[in-house]
Structure 1
Amino acid sequence: MNTAPLSLPRLLAYGTPGLPLAMLGLPLYVFLPAYYANNLGLGLAAVGLALMLARIWDVVLDPLIGFAADWVPAPHRRKKMMVAGLVPFLIALHVLLQPPADAGLGTLYVAAFLGFAGWSLVTLPYQSLGAEADPTPLGRARLASAREGLGLVGVLCAAALPILFPQNPAAVLQAVFYAVLILLPLSTLLLLWTVPEPIIRRQPPALTTLWPMLRTAPALRRLLAAVFLNNLANGIPAVLFVLYVEHFLQAPGALGWLLLLYFGSGILALPAWVWLARRLGSQRAWGLSIGLAGLSFAVVPALGSGQLAAFTVICLLSGLSLGADLALPAALQGDLATADDSAAQTERVGLYYGVFGLVSKLALAAATGLAFGLLSLAGYTADSSQTAALAWIYGATPVLFKLVAGWLVWRQPWIHPAHRSLPGDRPHASRPSAVDG
């Protein structure tokens, strides 16, 4: 296999589909739940439950899709899977982001289920290609950074929409849909034409190896636990952000600017996290980013109603860790997957990313259900004047999960030193497996 690093144009071409895919993050986790709950009158707890149930199917679908991505014959198996998922994904998005005025929980549930399944059909082979296009730890970190960096640009574009369409969530969802409808097919064509996909001649795994793989790989289990807890900590403030800014801070006009500040700081800090990963390894660099996010967000429960200036500073500081949260776990996943492949002489990259995908989505689904469920138990409603419960659930619960995730990342050994993202590191056949723990 050619081990020359990919050129900058090819890195950018690989990362380009990450931009429209990431534009969906804000609508699906920030704007869409509040829109269905408030504008369509479905209720906070009911919407949270419907979205959580729709995501539970990922427990089955993501490993199956990852397995299929390893099983599809070469050449271009990752690219074939991405193309196969495009059409059903875009159709489901049309219903989910542009619902009829009389849409009920059934429409939300079915459209969310089909949309999440289509998203997996596109993103899992896309991420798997990023683990193989450059077979070195540093190369995987560069590819993940290109994908997530351009993804942050997409999120930044989505964050600007509330400024263009103030107090109009339906227009925001519609604009995101048309942007994805145009950009995702075009960027996928650019990737198909530009980015090489190595032909890897290993035997695909049997789906029955999933449970033994989890049972015998302590490094994989630790990484999965850290990813779940960290995404859970990120998901709770994401789904409650609109409610917190509008009802607690009483600053609905600041939604767009706060989001731009948060994601903009994440983009600017991403090169620094890649540099730090080259010096300390991806594991340590990610641990530092989790600590920074936890420390900066720990101040949130102490804020009073209307303290917008202090919250702006918190958005800036916590946003600095965003790029690391997106790029470095993906690089670590690729390190584990390819090391396991070399040791077992099987092809499991797709299956690994399927498992990581379902864990990430379960965390976000659990965040939606937990956040809205806790609000419902506290007696909070959208028109309630009692916002103390909202402030504590939004600000305190993520810090608890960040503490545990940070301990797992910083203290637990996952990656053999030879697999950390170090400059100039090239693959070597005699390396031990990263799953040795």
Structure 2
Amino acid sequence: MTSSPHPPSETPAAEPLNFPTKLAYGAGDLGPAITANLLAFFLLYFLTSVAGLNAALAGSVLMIGKVWDAINDPLVGVLSDRTQSRWGRRYPWMVLGAIPFGVFFFLQWIVPSFSPDPAANQWGLFWYYVIISIFFNMAYTAVNLPYTALTPEMTQDYNERTSLNSFRFAFSIGGSIFSLILAQVIFGLISDGRQQYLLLGLLCAVISVLPIYWCVWGTYQRTMGNKAGESKDSEEANIPFKEQLRIVFSNRPFLYVIGIYLCSWLAVQITAAIIPYFVVNWMGLPNQAFTQVALAVQGTALVTLFFWSAVSDRVGKRIVYFLGAGLWILVQGGLFFLQPGQVGLMYGLAIAAGFGVSTAYLVPWSMVPDVIELDELRTGQRREGIFYGFMVLLQKLGLALGLFLVGNALDQASFIESVPGQPTPLQPESALFAIRVAIGPIPTVSLILGLVLAYFYPISREIHAAILLRLRERRQGITPPDDPTDPINTL
């Protein structure tokens, strides 16, 4: 692009964010949510049952894509921190990455033919999907990571950040729900498998790209208007990468946030991965029931995001996490004791779980800007990209390990895999017990650990206000007196 949407105005950092700006910011997470949700639910099945790729090769495609996705997160984070343009540090990545993001997502749902020889065609398909997966994950990170780093650049208000993230995750959860519904509609209208996924990929690619430009247009004025409030040192020469890592991981509150996030999302991902087995093998319900359970959880999480945001304004982020995670723990325990035939109770627990899942979306991400400002107070530099990048990196590596362990536990428990075209096999008691443990005690332990970390998280609303006061004093050239009793010094 050759021109900016409109010139930034002098927007004071303290001026409240208006509804259109929050809405535009939230829209930026719609595309990543749609694509991530479809890839999580459908890509492995598509590769093996539609593209005809060997299951081992299909698993390797997903593994390579996940590993590269984790690696490029901190790289893009550092590069976006160092970007200098009239569009700021984040927007060039979003504007230039949006089109490749949509194109490479669509290309993942094409089934090319490379050779009449089945063995040669298998390897052709394998390398095609590996290359497309690598390029898609690069484009995904180029769009999504700078987007997430916009939060502290839009507002420094403690409560507004929680509100801003509630809009973000409303679009995120809404996108996940929309993608599931759209898939069901397309699958009901079209019988050919290749055409189903080709149309689904095309529609979702277009729908995913357009909101990114909405986000850029709707938030640009606010973000660039706040540039005057940034620390002058933030544009100085960047320190070496290894030193940045040392500073990031010496930020004790950041380590607590990482821990809370990992524990929350480990519970989410393990439960999401095991729900199909729980619904079909333990509860004895058809495959369609899994989608309905997922919609019950995600729909409730969407509605309760704004409820928890309002509660957070009154009682703070930690209390909200205690309330949501506490209810969530009761739900996971209830799922362990749930018996076949108790279908109504299962849906009731799914709805209750949505209350807790929404806090996993909302609370950790609204804590990250607080620790970034603590880092700025200590170092005089703003490095949003590297904080967000390593948070996502550790999340992906941690979740990959957790899901790997669950899969191996099922294998050790003698789980019998389904054969296409054959009835669902009757699982042995050992496998059924492993499924119940994976959906109950394992997420429960993870959530309890998250509660412990949240209890010791040191940045309260009052301490955050003190951090902002110190930053304002520094920008005004005021040096506060050295006070060894100041709680900021203990962080």
TM-score grouping bracket, smaller chain normalisation: 0.7 to 0.9
Alpha-carbon shift at residue 72 of structure 1 (Å): 0.3
Please list the CA deviations of residues 118-157 of structure 1 after superposition, one character each: whole Å capped at 9, or x if unmatched: 2111111101112211222222222211111121211121
Letter in 2 for 1:71: R
Which residue in 1 is equivalent to 2:211? 187
Question: TM-score w.r.t. structure 2 length?
Answer: 0.79
Distance 1:56 1:221 in 2: 22
**444, 449, 456: which one pairs with 1:412?**
456
Please list the CA deviations of residues 279-298 of structure 1 after superposition, one character each: whole Å capped at 9, or x if unmatched: 22113312322222122111
Which residue in 1 is equivalent to 2:19? 8
Which residue in 2 is equivalent to 1:28? 39
Larger-Rg structure:
2
Please list the CA deviations of residues 160-180 of structure 1 after superposition, one character each: whole Å capped at 9, or x if unmatched: 235425688867754553343
Kept after mapping to 2: 8 A contact 1:52/1:369 = no
Identify unmatched segments of 5+ residues in structure 2: 1-10, 114-120, 419-424, 475-485
Kept after mapping to 2: 8 A contact 1:218/1:435 = no
Which residue in 2 is equivalent to 1:96? 108
Kept after mapping to 2: 8 A contact 1:226/1:405 = yes
Which residue in 2 is equivalent to 1:363? 398
| Residues 408/224 of structure 1: CA separation in 2 closer, same or farther (3 Å cut) | same
Q: Mapping of 1:2-401 within 5 angstroms?
A: 2-3=12-13, 4-36=15-47, 40=52, 42-43=54-55, 50-76=61-87, 77-99=89-111, 106-165=127-186, 173-174=197-198, 176-195=200-219, 196=221, 197-198=223-224, 199=227, 200=230, 201=232, 202=234, 203=236, 205-206=238-239, 207-249=241-283, 250-305=285-340, 307-383=342-418, 384-386=425-427, 387-388=431-432, 389-401=434-446
Question: TM-score w.r.t. structure 1 length?
Answer: 0.87
Alpha-carbon shift at residue 194 of structure 1 (Å): 2.1
CA RMSD of aligned residues (A): 3.1
Alpha-carbon shift at residue 317 of structure 1 (Å): 0.6
| Residues 346/56 of structure 1: CA separation in 2 closer, same or farther (3 Å cut) | same
**Number of residue-to-residue matches in the alignment:** 433
Kept after mapping to 2: 8 A contact 1:156/1:260 = yes
SS in 1 for 2:396: helix
SS in 1 for 2:149: helix
Alpha-carbon shift at residue 416 of structure 1 (Å): 4.2
Question: Does residue 1:403 correspond to 2:413, yes or no?
Answer: no
| Residues 380/288 of structure 1: CA separation in 2 closer, same or farther (3 Å cut) | same
Kept after mapping to 1: 8 A contact 2:173/2:302 = yes
| Residues 180/213 of structure 1: CA separation in 2 closer, same or farther (3 Å cut) | farther
Q: Identical aligned pairs, as a percentage?
A: 20
Kept after mapping to 2: 8 A contact 1:13/1:194 = yes
Distance 2:339 2:138 in 1: 41
SS in 2 for 1:429: helix
SS in 2 for 1:385: coil
Kept after mapping to 1: 8 A contact 2:111/2:194 = no
Alpha-carbon shift at residue 435 of structure 1 (Å): 9.0
Moved more, 79-88 or 262-271: 79-88
| Residues 41/306 of structure 1: CA separation in 2 closer, same or farther (3 Å cut) | farther
Alpha-carbon shift at residue 7 of structure 1 (Å): 0.8
| Residues 50/163 of structure 1: CA separation in 2 closer, same or farther (3 Å cut) | closer
Distance 1:185 1:155 in 2: 15
